[in-house]
Every structure is written in C-alpha cells, then in structure tokens.
C-alpha cells in the first residue's frame, strides 16, 4: 500500500497553532486546582439532583404533603437549573467565572445545610429553587474554564475526570442514599452537598485567578434578553417534566406553562434581532458538527435511562428498596476510573474520539439487548455483569462525545473570542438538561403506553369461563380462604391477586420494550456519529504542537 500524505488546509493548521498558543503549556497547581474545583461542581450538581429524586418520598413524609404536591419539588430544582444555564453566560461574561462560582457555591452550601430543617412546603419550594439556581452555574462554567486554562496534553485527562465525576454521581447515588437512610439519616441527601461545596470553593479560590476589571467600551450586554430566554426555557422545562402526570394538553396548567414559555422564547428572539448582544454569538453555533454533536448529546442522554429508570424500576416492582437496588447500579460506576484513564491515553495516542464514542454506544446497545431477557424472577445479582458492561460503554461513549465537543470548540475557533466560548458552553448545557429530561419523560410515557397495551393483550386471555383462568382463581381462593372472611371474600381477593399478576407481567413486558428501545436508539446514534466530519487534528497532534517548558532541543515530541 503506497504511503499516503495528509495535506491540511492552512486554516486548520493556523487554528491549531492559535489554540496551542492560547492555552497554557506549563502545569502549575493553580489551573489544576481550578479544574478540580469546577469538575467537582459538575459532579456535585448531578449527585444532588439524583439524591433529591431518590429521597422525594422521605421528603414528602417529612413535610406531610401529597404525591402531586411533592412532584413539584423536583421540578422546582431542575427548572431552576435550566433557568440559570443561559443566564450564566451573562453573569460569567460580566463578572468572570471566579466571582460567580464562589458566590453560587457559598449560597448552595448554606441552602443545602438548611434544607432538611424546613417544614413549610412553600419555603421548601423557594429553597430548592435557590439551590437549583446556585448550583446550575457549575455546569456551564466548567467547560469554559477547562478550555481556556488546561494544557492541551492534559485535556484528555480533564475530560476523563469530568466523565468520572458526572457519570459516577448518577450511578453511586442509589447506594449512597440507601446507606444514608439505613445508617445515618435522609437529611444527608442535602448535607452531602453542604460538605462537598466548601471543598469546591477552596479549589476555585486558589485555582481560578480573578479577572481584570471589564472595560466599559462597546455595547452593553442585554439583561432583559437573557431573562426572557431563561424564563422561557425554565417554563417549558417544568411543563414537560410534569406533562405525563398532568395528562399533557388536556391540562390547563400544562398549557399555561408551555405557551407562556414559548411566548418568552419568542420575546428573546425578537430582542436578539432588534439589539445584538455582545455576549451571545448565535451564528457561531451554525456549524455542521456543532449541530450534530448537540443532537448526539440529546440522544446520549436517552441511553442513560438504562441505569436511571429501567433497571431501578425493574427491581422496584418486586418491592426492592434503594439500598437493595443500589448494588445493581453501582456496578456501572466501578469501571469508570480505569476506563476513563484508558480512554484518555487512547485519545493522546491520536485515537479518533468518534471511534471511542461509537464503541461505547455499541457496548451499551449490546447490554440493553442482553437485559431484554429480563423476567420478574430477576434480582439485583442478575444485573451485575450487564451493569459492569454498561459502565464501560457509558464511560467510553461519554468521553468520546465530550472529546468530540472539545475538538469542535477548538477547530471552530471557539477559543478566539470569550463570547464564542460562553455561547458554546451554554448551548451544550441547555442541550444536556433538555436531553436528560426529555429522555426520562419519553421513557416514562413509553413505558406507560406499552404497559396499557400489554395489559389489554394479556387481558384477552384472562376472562371468566376460560378453564385456565377459573382454575387459577379456584387455586388462589383455596390458598387465601384460611385468612379471609368467608368464601366470597376469598374469591374477591383471588381475583385481585390475579389482576396484580397480570399488571406485573404487563409492566415487565413494557420494561423489556424499554431496553430494546435504548438498544435501537444507540444504533440510530451510530448513524449520526458516522455523519460527523473528522477533525483536522487530534489530541496527540495538538499536544505535540504545544511547547513544553524545559524540553531540550533533542526532544522530538
């Protein structure tokens, strides 16, 4: 095979040299400590949101509210995360990431410390909104700071650390909450954040240098435009999260929230057209790979429903509690650190992150196909091997996806202007939040629809007069007769038990359909991965272009 020569366009080489020159080449403790702080924040907000959803029942009992009222607690926190996401672009560009993160982390610490002590429902909703808005600043500023402060040769390890903190926060939450409830108190689902957030503040204080005072020249950033956009996204987000419970378009509350949010989004668009904002560069996002990576991030969040929804619910219908479900989920967190380290080394060896992403999706699809053999006899031990493989697949897919996003930011010129970096980070933050919620909402709706379908299909074979049905009812009647108030009561209880058995089987079949849906969604995502354009250079090339201080002249790398 003849040797082939790769000819790069001058623009790609120029961009690579500019990126290498713009990012620091020396490894000092300050940037690394800052990276640790912002990555810890990204993992902390993930863990806090997951613990809140797991402990919602205990929180409802503590306040003494109904299931319907309790459903708004989770929405208050998550909608606040969505509200502050775009607004963080305004705050970060105006005040700098250091000031925003220190204030937000301090406010989040105080709020998390007092949350378990609140007994008023209204005050609890307000406190969760404050916690959501303060912690919601962590995510958008993580990628912004990492891109501008970490040496290129250490960027893959930063991505790996980011994946470990974020993905690990999701997977260890059930075991952590179960341990809290059994040995400490459910209060620790909030106090965990109050303990970790100060450590994050210390890292940020020593790792992120303060920005110089911002010059007053140029157009003034639009506060109102960001407010319209954030309100619109938050209202639509809350409406979608409550849609299944409110019965979608048949609910006046859903319609009011959805169309109010749409109106605010329209107002933000009109405001943007009438007066351009110097902190927002929407045309910069109009790029083939940027749009495609946004779609892939949205799609990838759906695949996380395997460990967030399907496996916990497949065990919960058997009566398992959080401490019994946790051991099955935590197996997906065990391989995160070694797999992330291996993935970072592969990226430095010039492996295309698209291949890493595709390999992770393939692994996830295979594990979902194996889990589709699920039956009601399965226990947590049946998921150990598949969850271990799921952890490997999700880690490779997550690191590959983030690796593609970072390369896209570099080669699309995202480091050339601060507003481009802020816009890029906020775009993917909004996609991440919407993707996770939309995936969970769709999966819940899908399971509910499939459960009704399977109940109807199974009900066709369970009818009075059918000898199999009558024989089962007679056998169960005889079994419960000793503890019933007469034969009529025993017969009614037997019919209820038969109906519960049909519901259990119908729900199990709907979960199997959910596993198959995730598997096929991974196959569809692989098609989108194939459509991604190759980056001009990879991480190994970029790190080699960056000059290492103290390297001798004889060094070839």
**Per-residue pLDDT tens digits for 73-105:** 988 998 998 888 777 767 776 777 788 888 999
Q: Are residues 199 and 226 in the same domain?
A: no
Q: Alpha-carbon distance 394 to 387, whole Å?
A: 10
Tens of pLDDT, residue by residue over 394-449, are: 889 988 998 898 888 888 877 667 777 777 877 887 888 788 878 888 888 899 88
* DSSP secondary structure letter of residue 486: S
Tens of pLDDT, residue by residue over 144-160, are: 676 667 777 777 888 88
pLDDT of residue 337: 81
Q: Are residues 177 and 226 in the same domain?
A: no
- For 325, the 3-state DSSP assignment is helix
Q: Are residues 166 and 140 in the same domain?
A: yes
Tens of pLDDT, residue by residue over 475-499, are: 767 776 666 777 777 777 676 677 7
What integer is the mean pLDDT of 524-531? 92
Q: Are residues 232 and 200 in the same domain?
A: no
Q: Are residues 42 and 178 in the same domain?
A: yes
Q: Are residues 186 and 228 in the same domain?
A: no
In this structure, is residue 348 part of a structural domain? Answer: no
**Residue 2 confidence (pLDDT) above 60:** no
Q: Average per-residue pLDDT in the chain?
A: 81
Q: Are residues 247 and 187 in the same domain?
A: no
Structure tokens at 325: 């479900």
Tens of pLDDT, residue by residue over 113-152, are: 999 999 999 999 999 999 999 988 887 776 667 666 777 7
In this structure, is residue 50 part of a structural domain? Answer: yes
Expressed as residue numbers, the domain containing 52 is: 28-212
pLDDT of residue 244: 83
In this structure, is residue 371 part of a structural domain? Answer: no
pLDDT of residue 197: 93
What integer is the mean pLDDT of 204-228? 70
Q: Helices 322-330 & 155-183, crossing angle to 10 degrees? A: 160
Tens of pLDDT, residue by residue over 226-281, are: 888 889 989 998 998 888 888 889 889 999 999 999 999 999 888 877 777 666 77
**Percentage of the chain lying above the pLDDT 90 cut:** 22
**Residue 40 confidence (pLDDT) above 80:** yes
Q: Are residues 139 and 206 in the same domain?
A: yes
**Residue 510 confidence (pLDDT) above 60:** yes
Q: Are residues 50 and 137 in the same domain?
A: yes
**Residue 20 confidence (pLDDT) above 80:** no
Q: Are residues 34 and 158 in the same domain?
A: yes
pLDDT of residue 14: 64
For residues 349 and 6, the model is more confident at 349
Q: Helices 487-531 & 288-303, crossing angle to 10 degrees? A: 160
**Percentage of the chain lying above the pLDDT 70 cut:** 81
**Residue 544 confidence (pLDDT) above 80:** no
For residues 538 and 109, the model is more confident at 109
pLDDT of residue 217: 52
**Residue 8 confidence (pLDDT) above 80:** no
Q: Are residues 163 and 251 in the same domain?
A: no
* DSSP secondary structure letter of residue 65: -
In this structure, is residue 372 part of a structural domain? Answer: no
For residues 289 and 221, the model is more confident at 289
In this structure, is residue 380 part of a structural domain? Answer: no
End of a domain among 155, 185, 212? Answer: 212
Q: Alpha-carbon distance 7 to 344, whole Å?
A: 26
- CA triple 439-444-446, angle to 5 deg: 90
In this structure, is residue 324 part of a structural domain? Answer: no
**Helix, strand, coil shares of the chain as percentages rounded to 5?**
80, 0, 20
What integer is the mean pLDDT of 12-33? 62
For the chain, the domain total comes to 2
pLDDT of residue 11: 56
In this structure, is residue 464 part of a structural domain? Answer: no
pLDDT of residue 190: 94
Domain of residue 148, CATH code: 1.20.1250.20
For residues 22 and 247, the model is more confident at 247
Closest CA to 541 of 347, 401, 271: 347
The answer to whether the CB of 538 falls within 8 A of the CB of 407 is: yes
pLDDT of residue 222: 67
End of a domain among 239, 262, 277? Answer: 277
**Residue 374 confidence (pLDDT) above 80:** yes
The residues, ordered by sequence, that sit 6+ positions from 191 with a Cβ below 8 Å of its Cβ are 112, 113, 116
For residues 99 and 282, the model is more confident at 99
pLDDT of residue 220: 60
End of a domain among 212, 246, 261? Answer: 212
pLDDT of residue 223: 75
Task: Output b/e per residue, 236-253; b: 16+ Cβ within 10 A.
Answer: bbbbbbbbbbbeeeebee
Q: Give a three-class secondary structure readout of 179-228.
A: HHHHHCCCCHHHHHHHHHHHHHHHHHHHHCCCCCCCCCCCCCCCHHHHHH
In this structure, is residue 160 part of a structural domain? Answer: yes
Dihedral of CA 301/303/305/308: which sign?
A: negative
**Residue 162 confidence (pLDDT) above 50:** yes
pLDDT of residue 329: 82
pLDDT of residue 363: 93
For residues 367 and 95, the model is more confident at 367
* DSSP secondary structure letter of residue 533: P
For residues 76 and 35, the model is more confident at 76
The answer to whether the CB of 16 falls within 8 A of the CB of 536 is: yes
Tens of pLDDT, residue by residue over 303-318, are: 888 888 888 888 888 7
Closest CA to 109 of 180, 173, 45, 56: 45
The residues, ordered by sequence, that sit 6+ positions from 417 with a Cβ below 8 Å of its Cβ are 281
pLDDT of residue 529: 93
Q: Are residues 273 and 164 in the same domain?
A: no
pLDDT of residue 260: 94
């Amino acid at each position: 095979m003849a040797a082939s020569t790769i000819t790069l366009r001058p623009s790609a080489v120029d961009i690579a040299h500019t990126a290498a020159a713009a990012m620091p080449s020396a490894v000092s403790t300050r940037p690394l400590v800052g990276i640790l702080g912002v990555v810890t924040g990204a993992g902390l907000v993930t863990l806090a949101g997951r613990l809140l959803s797991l402990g919602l029942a205990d929180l409802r009992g503590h306040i003494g509210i109904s299931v319907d009222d309790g459903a708004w607690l989770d929405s208050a926190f998550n909608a606040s995360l969505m509200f502050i996401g775009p607004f963080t672009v305004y705050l970060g560009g105006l005040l700098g990431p250091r000031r925003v993160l220190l204030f937000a982390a301090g406010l989040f610490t105080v709020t998390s410390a007092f949350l378990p002590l609140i007994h008023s429902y209204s005050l609890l909703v307000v406190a969760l909104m404050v916690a959501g808005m303060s912690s919601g600043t962590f995510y958008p500023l993580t990628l912004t700071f990492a891109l501008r402060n970490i040496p290129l040769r250490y960027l893959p390890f930063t991505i790996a650390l980011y994946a470990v903190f974020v993905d690990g926060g999701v997977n260890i939450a059930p075991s952590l909450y179960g341990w809290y409830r059994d040995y400490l108190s459910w209060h620790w689902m909030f106090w965990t954040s109050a303990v970790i957030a100060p450590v994050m503040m210390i890292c940020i204080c020593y790792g992120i240098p303060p920005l110089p005072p911002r010059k007053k020249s140029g157009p003034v950033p639009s506060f109102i435009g960001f407010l319209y956009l954030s309100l619109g996204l938050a209202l639509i987000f809350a409406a979608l999260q409550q849609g299944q419970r409110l019965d979608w378009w048949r609910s006046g509350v859903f319609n009011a929230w959805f169309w109010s949010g749409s109106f605010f989004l329209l107002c933000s668009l009109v405001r943007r057209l009438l007066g351009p904002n110097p902190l927002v560069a929407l045309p910069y996002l109009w790029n083939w790979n940027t749009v495609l990576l946004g779609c892939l991030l949205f799609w990838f969040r759906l695949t996380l429903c395997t460990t967030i929804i399907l496996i916990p619910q497949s065990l919960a219908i058997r009566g398992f509690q959080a401490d019994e479900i946790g051991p099955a989920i935590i197996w997906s967190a065990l391989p995160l650190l070694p797999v992330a380290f291996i993935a970072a080394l592969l990226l430095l060896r010039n492996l295309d992150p698209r291949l890493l992403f595709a390999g992770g999706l393939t692994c996830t699809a295979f594990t979902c196909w194996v889990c589709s053999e699920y039956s009601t006899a399965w226990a947590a031990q049946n998921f150990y091997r598949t969850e271990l493989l799921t952890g490997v697949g999700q880690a490779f897919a997550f690191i590959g996806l983030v690796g593609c996003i970072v390369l896209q930011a570099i080669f699309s010129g995202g480091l050339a202007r601060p507003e481009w970096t802020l816009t890029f980070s906020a775009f993917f933050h909004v996609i991440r939040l919407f993707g996770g919620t939309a995936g969970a909402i769709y999966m819940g709706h899908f399971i509910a629809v499939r459960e009704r379908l399977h109940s109807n299909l199974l009900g066709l074979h369970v009818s009075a007069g059918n000898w199999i049905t009558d024989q089962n009812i007679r056998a169960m009647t005889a079994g419960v007769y000793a503890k019933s108030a007469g034969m009529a009561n025993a017969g009614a209880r037997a019919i209820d038990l038969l109906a519960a058995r049909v519901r259990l089987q119908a729900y199990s079949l709907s979960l199997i359909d959910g596993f198959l849906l995730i598997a096929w969604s991974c196959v569809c995502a692989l098609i989108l991965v194939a459509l991604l354009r190759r980056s001009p250079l990879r991480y190994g090339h970029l790190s080699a272009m960056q000059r290492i201080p103290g390297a001798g002249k004889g060094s070839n790398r």
